[in-house]
Structure 1
Amino acid sequence: MPATTRPAASHSKNPGSQSALRHLNQQRLIECLLSGPATQAELSRQTGLSTATVSNIVKIMQGAGLVSTEPVTSSGRRALSVRLNSQGAVAVGIDFGRRHLRVVLASLGYQVIAEETVTLPLGHHAEEGIAAAVELLDKLLRQNGVERRAVVGAGAGIAGPIDRRSGTVAQGAILPEWVGFQILERLERALELPVYVDNDANLGALSEVTWGPHSGVSDLMFLKIGSGIGAGLIVNGAPYYGAVGITGEIGHATIHEYGAICRCGNRGCLETVASTSTMLELLGKSAGRSLEPQDIVRNALAKDPATLRVIDDAGLAVGRALGNVANLIGPEVIVVGGPLAGLGETLLGPIRRGLVRHAVPVVGETTTLTMSSLGARAEALGAAALVFQHAGISSG
C-alpha cells in the first residue's frame, strides 16, 4: 500500500498550537502501538516524550476509545500497558456524487461497521449535500452505538478536481454548483471533526491498494467511468497529485478533434463519447424513455444489440485514452470502477482492445486491466482509509 498520502485538501492546524502538538504526539504513540502493546515507560523511550506527556496523551486517547490500558509488572515494577483498540477508532468515509451520497463507518481493523447510500437531487448545491451527510452520519452512529468521540475523522470524496492551493472545487467538476466552494472549511464546521478532502477517483485508487487485492502494487491507475470520467494515480507507492492537485483528468483527453462540445469548453473529449451520461442519452433515444446506469448493465448482460454497440464504441475510446496514459507512466495495473463495474468483460474487452492498439506493444502486453472488486463503495472506502493514514494508522 502507499507509504504516504498527500491529499488535495486536508485538515490543518496552527503548527505551533497545543492542539497541533498533541495531535502530532498522538500520531507518534499510535505508530509505536501498531507493532503491539507497550508500557507507558516504553512509549516514552521510543518516542522521546516525557513520561508525563505520554501519560496525559494516553488518558486522552483512552477517553476517545482509541486505546485500552491494564496494570502489568515490568522489570519488577508496576506499570501500565497500553494497547491500540482496533474497534475503538472509527473513520468516516463520505462519497459525494452527482446524484448520490454514500457514508461508511470503518474500524481500525479495516472492517466496515455500517454504510448507507441516499439519492441527492440532480443539480444539488453543496450545502444540500453536506446537510444530508451530517444527517446520515448521525443516523449511522446512533444506529450502531458508536460514540462520536471514537470518530478519528472524516474523509470526503468529491466528483471533480480540487485545487490544493485554495481547497476549493475547481472548474470542470460534474458538480458545477460546487465550483469555488470551500468544501474543507464547511465540512469541518458541519461535522465538527477533522476532515480530509480529495477527488473521488484519487480515493478510488487509494481504496484499491488499501482495501482491494492490489496492496502490493506500486504503480496503479483507477479509472472511474460515470457521469464524468476521471483517473486516480498511485505512482511509486504513493498517490500522485501534481503541482496543484489536479491530475488524472483523462475524461478531457481529446478523442475527436471536431466532436461534440464538452462542458470543459473543448471539443471531442472522452466524456462526450464514453461517459454514462452519453451512453444513456444515446440509448434513451432508441428506448423512448429515460434510462439509468443499471439499465445499461442489465440490457448488456441480456445481449441487447444497441447497448452492446454503445458499450463497444465507448470502451474503444476509453482504451485509446488509456493507451496514451500507459505509454507515459507505465502502470502495472489499471482498475476500472464506477456504476458500470457489473459489466465485467463486456466493458473490459473493448477497453483492452483500445489499450493494446494505442499503447507501445510491451506496455499494452504487460499492463493488467481489471474491474474493481469494491464496486460502488470504492470511493467511500478510500475516504475512510485516508483518515486512518492521517491518524498514523496503517492497514499493514
Structure 2
Amino acid sequence: MSDNAQRRTVHATSGALRAANRARVVQVLRRSGWATRSELTHHTGLSRATVSSVLGELAQRGLIAQRRQAGDGGKGRPPAQVALDTSAGTAIAVDIGVRHVAVAVGDLSHSVLAERWVDVPHDHTAASGTRIVLRSIEEAVEQAGIDADELVGAAVSIAAPVATDSGRLAVPGVLPGWNESTLADTVATRWGIPVVTENDANLGALGEAVARPPADGGDVLFVKVASRIGLGSARGTTIVRGRNGYAGEFGHVTARPGGEPCWCGRRGCLELYAGGDGMLRRLAGSGVAGSLAELVGNAHSSPAVRRVVDVGVAELARALTDVVVVLDPARVVLGGELTALGDLLVDPIRRELDALPFGPPTELSVSPFGERASLVGALTVVLTEPHRFADRSQAAALRSAPPPGPDPFRAPLTRPALRGVPS
C-alpha cells in the first residue's frame, strides 16, 4: 500500500473516531441536561482529554453553554457544568388532560423556555383542543425567541392508553372527544417535525427517571392522581409500554368486586373511588366541592369531603401496595393535581408500603413537577431519543472541523436563568 493510501485510511479512521466520541458526549448531555467534565468522562468512558476536545469542538460551533453553580462555602470553586445550547435543538411538549391543555417549549439543557396552560371543559373536543394547542405553540415559540428551524420534534401527552403500533388511542371512550384526533399529524405538518403521542403517566415516569435516576438503578413507578388514576413505569430512558400500549392502566384494577359500573365495562374500578372525577360524583349536590381545586381546598375543613377523600386514598394505597409487591420498584412517585392533598394522600400510602415484609421500605415521594410532570416527560422523550427525532447537535457538529484555537471553557460563559427542569 502506498504512503498516500495509508494516510487516507488513517484520516478516515480518525474522523470516524471523532464522530463516535462526539456522539457519545452528545448522547450523555441529551440525557442528563447539565453535566461536569468529570461526569461526562465517567458516563462516556472517554478520557478527560478526549472529552475536553469534543467540548471544545462543540463550543466553537456555538452548541455548548456553560454555568458554574453557587459554592457551598467550602474551599475552591465548584466545577463548571456544560449543556447543549438552545441552538443545538429545541422541543415542543403538549399535554392533553381531562380538564386542561398545556404546551411547553424546552431545550437540550432540559430547561423550559416557555409554557402555556389553558383550562378546558370536561367534555372538550379534539377540534377545540387542537385550535388551543396550535395557538399555544405559536405563542410559546415566540416567547422563547427561537427559530422554527431549531425545533427537533414534539411529543403529545394524553390521558389515555396509546397503541404502540399506531400512536392512536388504544381504548375509545377514555377521552371521547379525542378518539379520532389527528393532533400529532397536524402539529407535524405545521412545523415540519416528527411528532409522537404517549400516555401521560408513562411520560411522567420517564421525566422522573431521567431527572432523578435511582442511585442503584431499578424502575421508577409514577402514579398520576388526578381526575383519573394512571400509572407509568420507566427505567432510565426506557418506558414500559406493554405489548399493545395498555401497561399501567392502574385505574382499572378492581378495587371493589361487584362495585359501581365503570365506563370501561368492568365494575368496582379503582379510579371510581380514588380518582378526582369519582370523588366529585360522590359529592355532587353537596355544594362543598364542584371542582378538583375545591375538593383539595375543602378536604381539611369539610367532613363530607374528608370522608370521600379518605375512602379513595385508602383504596389507592391498598392497590398500589399490591403493584409494589409484584414489581419491586426502586421508587414510587406521586403526581397530578390531587398531590395537593399533601399528607392526606401521602401518609396512608406510606403506611401501607412501610408495612410490607419484603426488603427495605420502598421510597415514596411527590413529584417536584406537580401537575407539570407529564409535560416535562413529553419534553424528555424528545430530548433523550434522538433516534426518533432530528439531532441538530450532531448535524451541526459534522459540517466541518473547527479551526484550531484556545479552549473556550477557560473563560466563563454566562446564560440567562430559566425556569426549567431540575437536572
Normalised TM-score (structure 1) = 0.74
- Match 2:357 to one of 356, 361, 367: 361
Contact 1:280/1:292, CA 8 A, preserved across alignment = yes
Residue 386 of structure 1 corresponds to which residue in structure 2? 381
Between the aligned partners of 1:383 and 1:215, the Cα distance in structure 2 is 23
CA separation of 1:85 and 1:213: change in aligned 2, threshold 3 A: closer
The corresponding residue for 2:296 is: 297
Taking a change above 3 Å as real, the CA distance of residues 310 and 213 of structure 1, as seen in their structure-2 partners, is farther
Note the alpha carbon deviations across 1:316-338, whole angstroms, 9 max, x for none: 10011112211111112111111
8 Å CA contact 1:332, 1:368 repeated in 2: yes
Stretch moving more, 180-189 or 149-158: 180-189
The residue aligned with 1:313 is: 311
Runs (5+) with no aligned partner, structure 1: 1-25, 38-45, 47-57, 69-82
Question: How far apart are the structure 1 equivalents of 2:238 and 2:250?
Answer: 19
- What is the letter of the counterpart of residue 371 of structure 2? A
1:254 paired residue number: 254
**Cα–Cα, structure 1 residues 373 and 172, in superposed 2: closer, same or farther, change >3 Å?**
farther
Query: Which position in structure 1 is the counterpart of 2:321?
Result: 323
Supply the AA of the counterpart residue of 2:108. L
What amino acid is aligned across from residue 297 of structure 2 in structure 1?
R
What letter corresponds to residue 372 of structure 2 in structure 1? R
How many Å apart are 1:242 and its aligned residue? 1.4
Q: Please give the residue correspondences for 1:97-176 in structure 2 after superposition, counting only pairs within 5 Å.
A: 97-171=97-171, 174-176=174-176
Distance change >3 Å, CA 311–CA 129, structure 1 → 2: same
Q: In structure 1, which of residues 346, 358, 371 is the aligned counterpart of residue 366 of structure 2?
A: 371
Residue 351 of structure 1 aligns with an amino acid whose one-letter code is I
**Alpha-carbon contact 1:94-1:383 (below 8 Å) kept:** yes
From the superposition, tell whether residues 214 and 84 of structure 1 become closer, same or farther in structure 2 (CA, over 3 Å).
closer
Distance across 1 between alignment mates of 2:64 and 2:20: 13
Corresponding residue SS for 2:323: helix
**What SS is found at the alignment partner of 2:298?**
helix
Equivalent residues of 1:317, 1:351 under 8 A apart: no
Residue identity matched to 1:160: A
Distance in structure 1 (CA, Å) of the matches to 2:290 and 2:213: 32
Aligned ranges 1:1-396 → 2 under 5 Å: 30-33=23-26, 34=29, 85-88=84-87, 89-171=89-171, 174-181=174-181, 183-212=183-212, 217-235=217-235, 238-287=238-287, 291-300=290-299, 302-355=300-353, 360-362=356-358, 366-391=361-386
Point out the structure with the larger strand share: 1
The 3-state SS of whatever aligns with 1:286 is: coil
Q: Give 1:14's aligned residue.
A: none
Confirm or deny: 8 A CA contact 2:163 2:169 kept in the other structure.
yes
Q: Offset at 1:390?
A: 1.8
Task: Name the counterpart of 2:79.
Answer: none
CA contact (8 A) 2:209 2:235 kept: no
Q: Is the 8 A contact 1:90 1:152 kept in 2?
A: yes
Letter in 2 for 1:361: P
**How far does residue 284 in structure 1 lie from its aligned partner after superposition?**
3.5
Q: Which amino acid aligns with 1:138?
A: E
Secondary structure, counterpart of 2:86 in structure 1: coil
Contact 1:155–1:195 under 8 Å retained in 2: yes
Cα offset, 1:388, TM superposition:
0.8
DSSP-derived class of the 1:168 partner: coil
Return closer, same or farther for 1:184/1:114 CA change in 2, 3 Å cut-off: closer
1:88-127 CA distance string (max 9 Å, x none): 2211111011121111111211111111101223322223
Q: For residue 326 of structure 2, what is the amino acid of its counterpart? A: L
Q: Is the 8 A contact 1:205 1:382 kept in 2?
A: yes
**Matched AA of 1:286:** S
CA distance in 2, matches of 1:291, 1:149: 44
> CA–CA distance in 1 between the matches of 2:161 and 2:237?
21
Shift in Å, 1:210 = 2.4
Q: Aligned partners of 1:228, 1:29: CA distance in 2, in Å? A: 43
SS at match of 2:358: helix
Equivalent AA in structure 2 for residue 374 of structure 1: F
Shift of 1:354: 4.4
Whole-Å Cα distance in 1 between the matches of residues 324 and 237 of structure 2? Answer: 17
Cα distance in 2 for residues equivalent to 1:340 and 1:97: 14
- SS in structure 2 opposite 1:324? helix
**Distance (whole Å) between structure 2 residues aligned to residue 273 and residue 91 of structure 1:** 37
**DSSP-derived class of the 2:286 partner:** helix
Change (3 A) 1:186 1:216: farther
Q: Do 1:320 and 1:354's aligned partners in 2 also have CA atoms closer than 8 Å?
A: yes
Measured at CA, do residues 304 and 36 of structure 1 come closer, stay the same or move farther in structure 2, by a change above 3 Å?
Answer: closer
| Partners of 1:90 and 1:105 within 8 A in 2 | yes
Unaligned runs of 5+ in 2: 1-18, 30-34, 38-45, 47-57, 66-81, 394-421
Give how far 1:283 is off.
2.5
Flag the structure with larger Rg: 2
- Change in Cα spacing, 1:236 to 1:362, as seen in structure 2 (3 Å) is farther
What is the identity, as a one-letter code, of the residue corresponding to 1:92? Answer: I
Deviation track 1:13-49 (CA, whole Å, cap 9, x = no partner) reads xxxxxxxxxxxxx999554445999xxxxxxxx9xxx
State how far apart, in whole Å, the 1-side matches of 2:373 and 2:151 are. Answer: 20
- Percent of aligned positions with the same letter in both sequences? 33
1:216 and 1:189 map into 2 onto residues whose CA distance is: 42
Deviation digits for residues 198-243 of structure 1 (CA, Å, limit 9, x no counterpart):
1000011111122357576521110011222110002477321111
One-letter identity of the residue aligned with 1:368? E
Matched residue type, 2:362? T
Q: How many residues align?
A: 330
Q: CA deviation at 1:247?
A: 0.5
